[in-house]
Amino acid sequence: MENNRFKIISFCKDMAFRASIFLLLLQCGMGFSQTTPSVSSEIDTTSIKIGEQIRFKIKVDADSTAQIVFPEGQTFSPMEMVEAISTDTVRKLDRITLQKIYALTQFDSGTYTIPRQQVVINGQNFFTDSFKISVATVPVDTLAQKMYDIKPFLEVEKSNYDLWKKALWILLGLVILGALAYWFLIRKKPLSEEEKVALLPPYDRALLELKRLENSKYIIQDEYKQYYSELTDIVRSYLEEDVHVSALESTTDQLIEKLELLKDAGELKLDDDTIEQFKKVLQTADLVKFAKSKPETSVAEQDRRVIEQIVIKTKEALPEPDEEDLLQDEEYLEELSRKKQKKKWLMAGAITVGVVFLSTLVAVAYYGWKPVKDTVMGHPTKELLEGDWLNSTYGYPPISLETPSVLIRQDINLPPEVKASVKEAQAFAFSDPDALFSIGVSSTTFSSQETEPDFQNSVEQVLKSFEAKGAKNITTKQEEFRTISGTLGVKVYGSGKFTLPQSNEEVNGSYAIIIFGGKGFQQQIILNWLEDDGYAENIVDRITHSIEVKTGA
């Protein structure tokens, strides 16, 4: 009995142990299932018309601390991703649910498969399901709607806005220069007191200066030398201008002798007493200036009055000018006026040249000689670089890029051996012979969607076309090229001797060939420019940094 009881107890303990192990495993399994991420996907429709969009939804359920990376770029090929809508996030306790929607489309009819998409969670790859999509054509009623030929390209006249803008700036500069010339040279400026005195007749000016000398403080301040110097200068200047005798450079005796000769010749009707008084004043002035003599105040004042009377009597003693003298004076004044006018124009020209020269120096110091020279003289690639740029999309599969001018569609004649493998080829180009700059863009779709592009062969064909046009010594380098959105392509570039289109002259040129592609299609950009042309290199940089391609075929 005891033995049976012992067996029953042992059995129960064993069952309890097994039950505890089972519960532990169950809990571990439950815990593991809660931490394992899950990825699911769905689409809103499996059938669309050309150009319509599909909503492709990826849903991820994972731990809130998980690092999750959704698909990016054109990974849905042959479907084309139009838009990636921002991720929707829902949190619940320690779990997180992320939902991302992609808008997909296709512009060619047929049945396509959206490939499995890769989602990376904490470094581990998870994949969505693949889906088959049917793209139907849009029915066109050709009976009710008449078909028309494609309209030809229209030539659009280039806007003259930049030309008018430059003309307005030039006009504004000329107006400013004209205003400066008028203000400083042509307009009649208010005369200063000295200028007004200088314009007076010699007689009136002499009397006015004598009056000012009378009101001066030279005598009060014992400045007799300065007083007599001005007194004699006034009378000597008057005699030189009105009597036409060299008085300023003559000594006292020489001046008196000249006046007496004029009196004896009948050209100056002065009496001997006036000349004698004048001689005494000049001698007194010589003693003050050279012998430091100091006369009485009354004597100095009396000498000034004597000189004033001498000026008046000399004016009265001069004979009336005849017609010939008046004519000579008039001619002299006209000549003087012409000289003044000529001096004004010369000064205006000098100021203009100075302003232009100074502005050029400042511009050269700030911008450098070449940009200033090219701005003034003009440079074709500089005008392209600084003109109005366009951002356009060309061909299918589309190539988007920014260019200084619109690219014109080119006619393509495919050889018979190529037509069988090419479904459609589109080419667009722009060329400026003056700037020695060209851009070419082409998109090609193959007849078979499984055809892989041959980049190497494409590059060889482009180089052969260069050689056919006279290019020599072509060097090549190759590297990966990646667009802003991350699309990967190939860039082949280099330099060589190129022949100018309108002559046999050879110049050093550079080129770049950028190719993208995938199953069933290829996209290509070709750039050609003059070597060591900084403006052209800036154009190329701007174009290449703007390239964006959609790799859906």
402-425 tens-digit pLDDT: 998 888 888 877 777 777 788 888
Residue with tokens 């490939």: 115
Secondary-structure class of domain 38-136 per CATH: mainly beta
* Predicted confidence (pLDDT) at residue 507 exceeds the cutoff of 60: yes
* pLDDT (mean) for 2-31: 42
* Predicted confidence (pLDDT) at residue 502 exceeds the cutoff of 90: no
Instruction: Say if residues 27 and 67 touch (Cβ distance below 8 Å).
Output: no
At CB < 8 A and 24+ separation, what contacts does 118-123 make? 118/71, 118/75, 119/39, 119/58, 119/60, 119/68, 119/69, 119/70, 119/71, 120/67, 120/68, 120/69, 121/37, 121/39, 121/60, 121/62, 121/66, 121/67, 121/68, 121/69, 122/37, 122/66, 122/67, 123/67
pTM of the shown model: 0.42
Poorest-pLDDT segment among 70-84, 137-151, 267-281, 333-347? 137-151
* Predicted confidence (pLDDT) at residue 11 exceeds the cutoff of 50: no
Query: So what's the pLDDT on residue 415?
Result: 73
* Predicted confidence (pLDDT) at residue 159 exceeds the cutoff of 70: no
* Predicted confidence (pLDDT) at residue 235 exceeds the cutoff of 70: yes
Higher-confidence position of 115 and 12: 115
* pLDDT (mean) for 143-150: 63
Third-level CATH fold of 193-322: Four Helix Bundle (Hemerythrin (Met), subunit A) (1.20.120)
Higher-confidence position of 333 and 244: 244
Tokens of 64: 């809130």
Question: What is the residue extent of each domain of the chain?
Answer: 1-35, 38-136, 193-322, 380-549
Compute the distance between CA of residue 218 and CA of residue 223 in angstroms, rounded to an integer. 5
* Predicted confidence (pLDDT) at residue 107 exceeds the cutoff of 70: yes
Reported confidence tier of residue 56, pLDDT bands at 50, 70, 90 = very high
* Predicted confidence (pLDDT) at residue 6 exceeds the cutoff of 50: no
Compute the distance between CA of residue 425 and CA of residue 410 in angstroms, rounded to an integer. 10
How high does pLDDT run on average in the chain? Answer: 80
Reported confidence tier of residue 268, pLDDT bands at 50, 70, 90 = confident
* Predicted confidence (pLDDT) at residue 263 exceeds the cutoff of 60: yes
* Predicted confidence (pLDDT) at residue 358 exceeds the cutoff of 90: no
* Predicted confidence (pLDDT) at residue 216 exceeds the cutoff of 80: yes
Residue type (1 letter), 168: L
Q: Give the 3-state secondary structure of residue 199.
A: helix
Dihedral over Cα of 467, 469, 470, 475: its sign: negative
Query: So what's the pLDDT on residue 179?
Result: 81
Third-level CATH fold of 380-549: Protein Transport Mog1p; Chain A (3.40.1000)
Reported confidence tier of residue 44, pLDDT bands at 50, 70, 90 = very high
* Predicted confidence (pLDDT) at residue 27 exceeds the cutoff of 70: no
* pLDDT (mean) for 221-230: 90
Of these ranges, 10-19, 415-424, 462-471, the one predicted with the greatest mean pLDDT is 462-471
Higher-confidence position of 363 and 340: 340
Choose among 486, 485, 476, 387: nearest CA to 430.
387
